[in-house]
Amino acid sequence: MNKITTYLKESYQELTEKVTWPAWLQLQQSTMIVLVATLVITFIVLLMDFATGNGLQFIYKQLF
């Protein structure tokens, strides 16, 4: 039980004293970067899915 208490105390101390938290502006900028990157990757996957689906549909129509 003593190890758990020590672990919790050290974890709390690390979070409050050693961790450097980002400023509000940095947090907003990072969030925007993640959102834009997510949208770009989503659009790329959508295009790949559309192209693959249409390509396979074309091939199946030719074969069957």
For residues 15 and 11, what is the distance between their CA atoms, to the nearest angstrom? 6
- Asked if the structure places residue 6 within a domain, the reply is no
Total number of domains in the chain: 1
Q: Note whether residue 31 is domain-resident.
A: yes
Would residue 10 count as lying in a domain? no
Distance of CA 63 to the CA centre of its chain: 40
DSSP one-letter code for 15: I
Asked whether residue 16 is assigned to any structural domain, the reply reads: no
In a domain, 27, yes or no: yes
Residue 14 within a domain: no
The predicted pLDDT at position 11 comes to 95
Domain enclosing residue 39, as ranges: 22-64
pLDDT for position 5:
96
pLDDT score of 43: 98
Residue 22: partners with Cβ closer than 8 Å, 6 or more residues away = 30
- Per residue in 4-43, pLDDT (tens digit) is 999 999 999 999 999 999 999 999 999 999 999 999 999 9
In this model, does residue 64 exceed pLDDT 90? Answer: no
Q: What is the pTM of this model?
A: 0.67
Of 3, 36, 24, nearest in space to 11 by CA: 3
